[in-house]
Chain A
Amino acid sequence: MAIALIDYGAGNLTSVVKGFRAVGADVHIVGSLEELAGASAIVVPGVGHFAATATLTAEWRTAITRATDAGVPLLGICLGLQWLFEGSDEAPGQPGLGMLPGRCFRLSGEVKVPHVGWNTLRFSKPASRLLDGVTEGASAYFTHSYAAPIGHATAADTTHGLPFAAAVERDRVFGVQFHPEKSGATGLRILENFMGVVRGGR
Protein backbone atom coordinates (compact mmCIF):
# COMPACT_ATOMS: atom_id res chain seq x y z
CA MET A 1 0.00 0.00 0.00
CA ALA A 2 1.47 3.27 -1.07
CA ILE A 3 1.81 6.67 0.52
CA ALA A 4 -0.42 9.25 -1.16
CA LEU A 5 1.38 12.51 -1.86
CA ILE A 6 -1.37 14.99 -2.64
CA ASP A 7 -0.74 17.19 -5.66
CA TYR A 8 -2.95 20.25 -5.34
CA GLY A 9 -0.85 22.48 -7.57
CA ALA A 10 1.20 24.14 -4.82
CA GLY A 11 4.70 23.77 -6.16
CA ASN A 12 7.04 21.07 -7.25
CA LEU A 13 6.88 17.57 -5.73
CA THR A 14 10.02 16.04 -7.24
CA SER A 15 12.20 16.60 -4.17
CA VAL A 16 9.55 15.27 -1.76
CA VAL A 17 9.17 12.12 -3.85
CA LYS A 18 12.96 11.65 -3.89
CA GLY A 19 13.16 12.11 -0.13
CA PHE A 20 10.54 9.46 0.55
CA ARG A 21 12.09 7.06 -1.96
CA ALA A 22 15.46 7.54 -0.26
CA VAL A 23 13.97 6.08 2.94
CA GLY A 24 12.42 3.18 1.06
CA ALA A 25 8.86 4.46 0.80
CA ASP A 26 6.50 3.61 -2.03
CA VAL A 27 5.08 7.03 -2.80
CA HIS A 28 2.42 7.92 -5.36
CA ILE A 29 1.42 11.39 -6.46
CA VAL A 30 -2.32 11.68 -6.06
CA GLY A 31 -4.43 14.31 -7.79
CA SER A 32 -7.96 12.96 -7.33
CA LEU A 33 -10.10 11.73 -4.44
CA GLU A 34 -10.49 8.29 -6.01
CA GLU A 35 -6.74 7.73 -5.85
CA LEU A 36 -6.71 8.55 -2.15
CA ALA A 37 -8.68 5.45 -1.20
CA GLY A 38 -6.58 2.72 0.35
CA ALA A 39 -3.50 4.86 0.93
CA SER A 40 -1.34 3.70 3.83
CA ALA A 41 -0.50 7.31 4.67
CA ILE A 42 -1.27 10.78 3.36
CA VAL A 43 1.28 13.52 2.80
CA VAL A 44 0.18 17.10 2.16
CA PRO A 45 3.17 19.03 0.80
CA GLY A 46 3.06 22.54 -0.62
CA VAL A 47 4.87 25.81 -0.90
CA GLY A 48 3.61 29.28 -1.57
CA HIS A 49 0.42 31.10 -0.71
CA PHE A 50 -2.18 29.71 1.72
CA ALA A 51 -4.85 30.51 -0.88
CA ALA A 52 -3.47 27.59 -2.93
CA THR A 53 -5.01 25.21 -0.37
CA ALA A 54 -8.44 26.25 -1.73
CA THR A 55 -7.92 23.39 -4.21
CA LEU A 56 -8.34 21.06 -1.23
CA THR A 57 -12.13 21.36 -1.24
CA ALA A 58 -14.63 20.22 1.37
CA GLU A 59 -14.65 16.78 -0.29
CA TRP A 60 -10.89 16.48 0.14
CA ARG A 61 -11.12 17.60 3.75
CA THR A 62 -13.84 15.07 4.50
CA ALA A 63 -11.88 12.27 2.84
CA ILE A 64 -8.65 13.17 4.67
CA THR A 65 -10.41 13.53 8.02
CA ARG A 66 -12.13 10.13 7.54
CA ALA A 67 -8.79 8.54 6.72
CA THR A 68 -7.05 9.97 9.79
CA ASP A 69 -10.05 8.99 11.96
CA ALA A 70 -9.51 5.46 10.66
CA GLY A 71 -5.87 5.63 11.77
CA VAL A 72 -4.15 6.55 8.51
CA PRO A 73 -1.07 8.67 9.36
CA LEU A 74 -1.02 12.21 7.94
CA LEU A 75 2.05 14.40 7.40
CA GLY A 76 1.86 18.05 6.39
CA ILE A 77 5.01 19.66 5.02
CA CYS A 78 5.53 23.46 5.01
CA LEU A 79 2.23 24.88 3.71
CA GLY A 80 0.83 21.42 4.45
CA LEU A 81 1.59 21.91 8.16
CA GLN A 82 -0.08 25.32 8.14
CA TRP A 83 -3.14 23.79 6.51
CA LEU A 84 -3.59 21.45 9.53
CA PHE A 85 -4.53 24.56 11.56
CA GLU A 86 -7.77 26.58 11.46
CA GLY A 87 -6.58 29.12 8.92
CA SER A 88 -3.97 31.70 8.09
CA ASP A 89 -3.73 35.48 8.08
CA GLU A 90 -2.26 35.05 4.59
CA ALA A 91 -5.70 34.15 3.19
CA PRO A 92 -8.24 35.06 5.88
CA GLY A 93 -11.27 33.74 4.02
CA GLN A 94 -9.73 30.32 3.38
CA PRO A 95 -10.27 27.74 6.14
CA GLY A 96 -7.61 25.20 7.01
CA LEU A 97 -8.30 21.59 7.92
CA GLY A 98 -8.76 22.64 11.55
CA MET A 99 -7.30 19.49 13.10
CA LEU A 100 -5.06 21.68 15.25
CA PRO A 101 -6.20 24.87 17.02
CA GLY A 102 -5.03 28.35 16.11
CA ARG A 103 -4.32 30.47 13.07
CA CYS A 104 -1.09 30.91 11.14
CA PHE A 105 0.48 34.36 11.29
CA ARG A 106 3.11 36.35 9.42
CA LEU A 107 6.63 36.27 10.86
CA SER A 108 7.95 39.67 11.92
CA GLY A 109 10.63 41.37 13.98
CA GLU A 110 14.18 42.52 13.40
CA VAL A 111 14.67 39.80 10.81
CA LYS A 112 14.21 39.31 7.10
CA VAL A 113 10.95 37.71 6.02
CA PRO A 114 10.76 35.24 4.28
CA HIS A 115 12.69 33.01 6.66
CA VAL A 116 15.06 31.17 4.34
CA GLY A 117 17.80 28.79 5.39
CA TRP A 118 18.91 26.44 8.15
CA ASN A 119 17.56 27.02 11.63
CA THR A 120 17.59 24.96 14.81
CA LEU A 121 14.89 22.81 16.40
CA ARG A 122 14.08 23.28 20.09
CA PHE A 123 12.20 20.29 21.45
CA SER A 124 8.87 20.88 23.15
CA LYS A 125 7.83 17.29 23.89
CA PRO A 126 9.82 14.83 26.00
CA ALA A 127 9.16 12.00 23.54
CA SER A 128 8.36 12.69 19.94
CA ARG A 129 7.90 9.85 17.47
CA LEU A 130 8.69 12.17 14.57
CA LEU A 131 11.93 13.47 16.12
CA ASP A 132 13.14 10.14 17.50
CA GLY A 133 16.93 9.95 17.10
CA VAL A 134 17.22 13.64 16.20
CA THR A 135 19.40 15.71 18.50
CA GLU A 136 17.97 18.77 20.20
CA GLY A 137 19.35 21.82 18.39
CA ALA A 138 19.60 19.98 15.07
CA SER A 139 19.27 22.15 11.96
CA ALA A 140 16.55 21.97 9.34
CA TYR A 141 15.97 23.91 6.11
CA PHE A 142 13.10 26.41 6.14
CA THR A 143 11.59 28.66 3.49
CA HIS A 144 8.37 30.45 4.49
CA SER A 145 6.86 33.78 5.55
CA TYR A 146 3.89 32.55 7.60
CA ALA A 147 4.04 30.15 10.52
CA ALA A 148 1.84 28.15 12.89
CA PRO A 149 1.32 28.96 16.58
CA ILE A 150 2.90 26.91 19.34
CA GLY A 151 0.41 24.69 21.16
CA HIS A 152 -0.11 21.32 22.83
CA ALA A 153 0.69 19.48 19.60
CA THR A 154 4.05 21.24 19.12
CA ALA A 155 6.92 18.76 19.08
CA ALA A 156 9.63 21.32 18.26
CA ASP A 157 9.70 25.05 17.89
CA THR A 158 12.00 27.49 16.15
CA THR A 159 12.38 31.24 16.45
CA HIS A 160 12.77 33.70 13.60
CA GLY A 161 11.69 37.07 14.92
CA LEU A 162 8.83 35.20 16.60
CA PRO A 163 8.68 31.63 17.95
CA PHE A 164 6.56 29.22 15.92
CA ALA A 165 5.73 25.52 15.62
CA ALA A 166 8.47 23.80 13.59
CA ALA A 167 7.08 20.28 14.10
CA VAL A 168 3.71 19.11 15.37
CA GLU A 169 2.31 15.72 16.26
CA ARG A 170 -0.95 14.56 17.77
CA ASP A 171 -2.05 10.96 17.54
CA ARG A 172 -1.34 10.08 13.91
CA VAL A 173 -1.32 13.63 12.60
CA PHE A 174 2.13 15.13 12.00
CA GLY A 175 3.51 18.27 10.42
CA VAL A 176 6.82 19.98 9.78
CA GLN A 177 7.27 23.62 8.78
CA PHE A 178 10.74 22.91 7.40
CA HIS A 179 11.52 20.74 4.38
CA PRO A 180 12.67 17.29 5.57
CA GLU A 181 13.51 16.38 1.97
CA LYS A 182 16.05 19.24 1.95
CA SER A 183 17.32 18.97 5.52
CA GLY A 184 20.12 16.46 5.03
CA ALA A 185 20.47 13.53 7.43
CA THR A 186 18.14 15.13 10.01
CA GLY A 187 15.37 15.44 7.44
CA LEU A 188 15.76 11.88 6.18
CA ARG A 189 15.64 10.62 9.76
CA ILE A 190 12.31 12.42 10.24
CA LEU A 191 10.90 10.88 7.05
CA GLU A 192 12.12 7.48 8.29
CA ASN A 193 10.40 8.08 11.61
CA PHE A 194 7.16 8.90 9.84
CA MET A 195 7.53 5.72 7.82
CA GLY A 196 8.06 3.89 11.10
CA VAL A 197 4.64 5.11 12.22
CA VAL A 198 3.14 4.07 8.89
CA ARG A 199 4.68 0.60 8.97
CA GLY A 200 4.63 -0.22 12.63
CA GLY A 201 1.49 1.50 13.80
CA ARG A 202 3.41 3.32 16.52
Chain B
Amino acid sequence: MLAKRLIACLDVRDGRVVKGVNFLGLRNAGDPAKLADRYNREGIDELTVLDVTATIEGRGALLETIREVSRRIFIPLAVGGGIRTLDDAKAVIDAGADKVSLNSAALADPGLVTAVAGTYGSQAVIVAIDAKRGDAGFEVFARSGTTKAPREAVAWAREAADHGAGEILLTSIDRDGTRAGFDCELTAAVSQAVQIPVIASGGAGTPEHFADVFSAGCADAALAASIFHFSEHAVRDLKVFLSEHGVPMRLDW
Protein backbone atom coordinates (compact mmCIF):
# COMPACT_ATOMS: atom_id res chain seq x y z
CA MET B 1 0.00 0.00 0.00
CA LEU B 2 1.26 3.44 -0.90
CA ALA B 3 2.50 5.14 2.27
CA LYS B 4 1.71 8.72 3.19
CA ARG B 5 4.93 10.71 3.14
CA LEU B 6 6.51 12.88 5.83
CA ILE B 7 8.75 15.56 4.37
CA ALA B 8 11.20 17.63 6.40
CA CYS B 9 11.81 21.14 5.16
CA LEU B 10 15.20 22.76 5.70
CA ASP B 11 15.10 26.53 5.33
CA VAL B 12 18.58 27.40 4.16
CA ARG B 13 20.29 30.77 3.89
CA ASP B 14 23.88 31.09 2.67
CA GLY B 15 24.36 27.37 3.16
CA ARG B 16 23.07 27.20 6.75
CA VAL B 17 19.74 26.07 8.16
CA VAL B 18 18.10 29.18 9.57
CA LYS B 19 14.94 27.91 11.21
CA GLY B 20 14.34 25.33 13.87
CA VAL B 21 17.92 24.91 14.92
CA ASN B 22 17.20 25.07 18.64
CA PHE B 23 17.61 21.38 19.28
CA LEU B 24 20.17 21.30 22.05
CA GLY B 25 21.62 17.83 21.62
CA LEU B 26 22.67 18.38 18.04
CA ARG B 27 26.09 19.71 17.22
CA ASN B 28 26.31 21.97 14.20
CA ALA B 29 22.55 22.08 13.93
CA GLY B 30 22.85 24.71 11.25
CA ASP B 31 24.64 22.37 8.86
CA PRO B 32 22.00 21.19 6.37
CA ALA B 33 23.87 17.99 5.47
CA LYS B 34 24.12 16.97 9.13
CA LEU B 35 20.48 17.74 9.79
CA ALA B 36 19.46 15.89 6.62
CA ASP B 37 21.53 12.93 7.74
CA ARG B 38 19.82 12.91 11.13
CA TYR B 39 16.33 13.04 9.60
CA ASN B 40 17.28 10.27 7.21
CA ARG B 41 18.39 8.07 10.09
CA GLU B 42 15.10 8.80 11.86
CA GLY B 43 13.13 7.66 8.83
CA ILE B 44 12.05 10.82 7.04
CA ASP B 45 10.59 9.95 3.61
CA GLU B 46 11.78 12.96 1.68
CA LEU B 47 13.67 16.22 2.11
CA THR B 48 12.96 19.71 0.85
CA VAL B 49 15.63 22.38 0.86
CA LEU B 50 14.05 25.80 0.69
CA ASP B 51 16.51 28.52 -0.24
CA VAL B 52 15.74 31.81 1.45
CA THR B 53 18.84 33.55 0.10
CA ALA B 54 18.62 36.49 -2.22
CA THR B 55 22.27 36.81 -3.21
CA ILE B 56 24.43 35.29 -5.94
CA GLU B 57 26.91 34.08 -3.29
CA GLY B 58 24.02 32.44 -1.49
CA ARG B 59 23.01 30.56 -4.63
CA GLY B 60 26.52 29.16 -4.87
CA ALA B 61 26.28 28.00 -1.28
CA LEU B 62 22.90 26.43 -2.06
CA LEU B 63 24.39 24.32 -4.85
CA GLU B 64 27.14 23.17 -2.50
CA THR B 65 24.46 22.27 0.08
CA ILE B 66 22.55 20.22 -2.50
CA ARG B 67 25.74 18.39 -3.50
CA GLU B 68 26.57 17.63 0.14
CA VAL B 69 23.07 16.39 0.97
CA SER B 70 22.57 14.35 -2.19
CA ARG B 71 25.98 12.69 -1.95
CA ARG B 72 25.03 11.09 1.37
CA ILE B 73 21.30 10.69 1.39
CA PHE B 74 19.43 8.40 -0.96
CA ILE B 75 15.84 9.55 -0.61
CA PRO B 76 14.04 12.11 -2.78
CA LEU B 77 15.36 15.65 -2.50
CA ALA B 78 13.35 18.67 -3.61
CA VAL B 79 14.72 22.20 -3.85
CA GLY B 80 12.73 25.40 -3.93
CA GLY B 81 13.17 29.13 -3.58
CA GLY B 82 14.26 31.54 -6.27
CA ILE B 83 13.95 29.16 -9.23
CA ARG B 84 12.87 31.48 -12.02
CA THR B 85 14.21 29.92 -15.23
CA LEU B 86 14.93 26.56 -16.81
CA ASP B 87 18.62 27.30 -16.20
CA ASP B 88 17.95 27.80 -12.47
CA ALA B 89 16.18 24.42 -12.44
CA LYS B 90 19.04 22.80 -14.35
CA ALA B 91 21.61 24.14 -11.88
CA VAL B 92 19.93 22.59 -8.83
CA ILE B 93 19.07 19.34 -10.63
CA ASP B 94 22.66 18.97 -11.85
CA ALA B 95 23.79 19.51 -8.26
CA GLY B 96 21.66 16.54 -7.14
CA ALA B 97 18.07 17.69 -6.62
CA ASP B 98 15.43 15.23 -7.85
CA LYS B 99 12.64 17.79 -7.94
CA VAL B 100 12.36 21.54 -8.18
CA SER B 101 9.62 23.52 -6.52
CA LEU B 102 8.28 26.48 -8.52
CA ASN B 103 6.11 29.16 -6.98
CA SER B 104 6.15 32.83 -8.06
CA ALA B 105 7.84 32.06 -11.38
CA ALA B 106 5.14 29.51 -12.24
CA LEU B 107 2.44 32.07 -11.49
CA ALA B 108 4.18 34.62 -13.69
CA ASP B 109 4.73 32.10 -16.49
CA PRO B 110 3.00 28.71 -16.30
CA GLY B 111 4.99 27.79 -19.41
CA LEU B 112 8.01 27.39 -17.12
CA VAL B 113 6.26 24.38 -15.53
CA THR B 114 5.84 22.85 -18.98
CA ALA B 115 9.44 23.63 -19.92
CA VAL B 116 10.93 22.00 -16.81
CA ALA B 117 8.56 19.01 -17.10
CA GLY B 118 9.46 18.67 -20.77
CA THR B 119 13.16 18.50 -19.95
CA TYR B 120 13.16 16.46 -16.74
CA GLY B 121 9.72 14.85 -16.56
CA SER B 122 6.68 15.83 -14.52
CA GLN B 123 7.97 13.88 -11.51
CA ALA B 124 10.69 16.54 -11.21
CA VAL B 125 8.30 19.49 -10.98
CA ILE B 126 6.45 20.60 -7.87
CA VAL B 127 4.26 23.67 -8.08
CA ALA B 128 4.15 25.36 -4.68
CA ILE B 129 0.96 27.25 -3.90
CA ASP B 130 0.70 29.66 -0.97
CA ALA B 131 -3.00 30.09 -0.23
CA LYS B 132 -4.96 32.25 2.17
CA ARG B 133 -8.66 32.33 2.96
CA GLY B 134 -10.31 35.46 1.56
CA ASP B 135 -13.55 36.84 0.20
CA ALA B 136 -12.95 35.04 -3.09
CA GLY B 137 -12.27 31.64 -1.51
CA PHE B 138 -8.73 30.34 -1.25
CA GLU B 139 -6.65 33.16 -2.67
CA VAL B 140 -3.16 32.56 -4.06
CA PHE B 141 -0.20 34.72 -3.06
CA ALA B 142 3.19 35.08 -4.73
CA ARG B 143 6.57 36.32 -3.51
CA SER B 144 6.57 34.55 -0.14
CA GLY B 145 3.00 35.52 0.57
CA THR B 146 3.49 39.24 0.01
CA THR B 147 1.75 39.70 -3.35
CA LYS B 148 -1.78 38.64 -4.11
CA ALA B 149 -2.04 36.77 -7.39
CA PRO B 150 -5.20 36.90 -9.49
CA ARG B 151 -5.87 33.21 -8.90
CA GLU B 152 -7.93 30.83 -6.80
CA ALA B 153 -6.00 27.92 -5.26
CA VAL B 154 -8.08 24.99 -6.52
CA ALA B 155 -8.25 26.36 -10.07
CA TRP B 156 -4.53 27.15 -10.06
CA ALA B 157 -3.69 23.64 -8.86
CA ARG B 158 -5.71 22.18 -11.74
CA GLU B 159 -4.02 24.52 -14.19
CA ALA B 160 -0.57 23.68 -12.82
CA ALA B 161 -1.31 19.96 -13.22
CA ASP B 162 -2.45 20.59 -16.80
CA HIS B 163 0.83 22.39 -17.45
CA GLY B 164 2.79 19.35 -16.36
CA ALA B 165 3.31 19.70 -12.60
CA GLY B 166 3.94 16.35 -10.92
CA GLU B 167 3.00 17.40 -7.39
CA ILE B 168 1.45 20.33 -5.55
CA LEU B 169 3.02 21.73 -2.38
CA LEU B 170 0.14 23.55 -0.72
CA THR B 171 0.90 25.94 2.12
CA SER B 172 -1.78 27.62 4.20
CA ILE B 173 -0.60 31.16 4.91
CA ASP B 174 -3.26 31.43 7.63
CA ARG B 175 -1.82 28.44 9.50
CA ASP B 176 1.89 28.78 8.72
CA GLY B 177 3.85 29.16 11.94
CA THR B 178 0.76 28.94 14.16
CA ARG B 179 1.04 25.26 15.17
CA ALA B 180 -2.77 25.29 15.14
CA GLY B 181 -3.04 22.42 12.66
CA PHE B 182 -3.11 22.12 8.88
CA ASP B 183 -5.95 23.73 6.94
CA CYS B 184 -7.69 20.43 6.15
CA GLU B 185 -10.51 22.05 4.23
CA LEU B 186 -8.10 23.79 1.86
CA THR B 187 -6.00 20.64 1.48
CA ALA B 188 -9.01 18.41 0.75
CA ALA B 189 -10.40 20.87 -1.78
CA VAL B 190 -7.15 20.88 -3.75
CA SER B 191 -6.36 17.18 -3.28
CA GLN B 192 -9.77 16.11 -4.58
CA ALA B 193 -9.50 18.45 -7.57
CA VAL B 194 -6.26 17.03 -8.99
CA GLN B 195 -4.88 13.57 -9.78
CA ILE B 196 -1.33 14.49 -8.77
CA PRO B 197 -0.15 14.18 -5.15
CA VAL B 198 -0.75 17.10 -2.79
CA ILE B 199 1.74 17.90 -0.04
CA ALA B 200 0.14 19.78 2.87
CA SER B 201 2.15 22.44 4.67
CA GLY B 202 1.61 25.09 7.32
CA GLY B 203 0.33 24.67 10.84
CA ALA B 204 1.80 21.37 12.04
CA GLY B 205 1.91 21.40 15.84
CA THR B 206 0.97 17.95 17.12
CA PRO B 207 0.90 14.35 15.83
CA GLU B 208 -2.90 14.59 15.71
CA HIS B 209 -2.60 17.42 13.18
CA PHE B 210 -0.81 15.05 10.79
CA ALA B 211 -3.43 12.34 11.32
CA ASP B 212 -6.13 14.91 10.51
CA VAL B 213 -4.52 16.17 7.32
CA PHE B 214 -4.00 12.62 6.03
CA SER B 215 -7.64 11.68 6.73
CA ALA B 216 -9.92 14.74 6.60
CA GLY B 217 -7.43 16.68 4.45
CA CYS B 218 -6.88 13.85 1.92
CA ALA B 219 -3.20 14.84 1.80
CA ASP B 220 -0.74 12.50 0.11
CA ALA B 221 2.20 13.93 2.05
CA ALA B 222 2.81 16.47 4.79
CA LEU B 223 5.72 18.85 5.10
CA ALA B 224 6.96 20.50 8.27
CA ALA B 225 10.11 22.10 9.62
CA SER B 226 10.27 23.03 13.27
CA ILE B 227 8.17 20.17 14.67
CA PHE B 228 10.90 17.70 13.74
CA HIS B 229 13.38 19.58 15.93
CA PHE B 230 11.50 19.06 19.17
CA SER B 231 13.15 15.83 20.16
CA GLU B 232 15.70 13.40 18.92
CA HIS B 233 13.16 10.82 17.81
CA ALA B 234 10.49 13.20 16.54
CA VAL B 235 10.26 11.70 13.06
CA ARG B 236 10.29 8.09 14.25
CA ASP B 237 7.77 8.77 17.04
CA LEU B 238 5.46 10.60 14.66
CA LYS B 239 5.57 7.73 12.14
CA VAL B 240 4.78 5.17 14.83
CA PHE B 241 1.92 7.34 16.14
CA LEU B 242 0.42 7.75 12.66
CA SER B 243 0.81 4.07 11.87
CA GLU B 244 -1.03 3.18 15.08
CA HIS B 245 -3.77 5.57 14.00
CA GLY B 246 -4.30 3.77 10.71
CA VAL B 247 -2.21 5.99 8.43
CA PRO B 248 -0.04 3.88 6.07
CA MET B 249 3.58 4.77 6.83
CA ARG B 250 6.97 3.55 5.72
CA LEU B 251 8.41 1.97 8.85
CA ASP B 252 11.46 0.18 7.42
CA TRP B 253 14.57 2.24 6.88
Contacts and interface: CB of A to CB of B under 8 A. Distances in A.
Nearest to B221: A117
Interface string A183-202: 11111100000000000000
Interface residues of B, number: 32
A116 B197 contact: yes
Nearest to B191: A112
Nearest to A142: B2
Contact of A182 (B75, B195, B221): B75
Nearest to A140: B250
Given A14-B93, A15-B96, A184-B75, A118 B45 contact: yes
Interface size class of A (residues with CB under 8 A): 35 or more
Interface hub of B71, B76, B220 (most chain A Cβ within 10 A): B76
Interface stretch (B56-64, B118-126, B174-182, B226-234): B118-126
A115 B1 CA distance: 11
A138 B70 contact: no
Interface in B51-97: 70-71, 74-76, 93-96
Nearest to A186: B252
A24 to B, nearest CB: 14
A15 B93 CA distance: 9
A10 B118 CA distance: 10
A119 B251 CA distance: 11
A183 to B, nearest CB: 7
Given A112-B195, A116-B220, A47 B2 contact: no
A48 B121 contact: yes
A182 B98 contact: yes
Contacts of A138: 252
B26 interface: no
A80 B121 CA distance: 14
Contact of B74 (A112, A118, A160, A184): A184
B253 A185 contact: yes
Interface in B193-230: 195-197, 220-221
A141 B75 contact: yes
B3 interface: yes
Contacts of A114: 122-123, 166, 195-197
A57 to B, nearest CB: 21
Contact of B1 (A48, A113, A119): A119
A102 B235 CA distance: 41
A139 interface: yes
A111 to B, nearest CB: 7
A185 B75 CA distance: 9
8 contacts: A11-B121, A12-B94, A15-B98, A19-B74, A116-B197, A119-B3, A139-B250, A159-B1
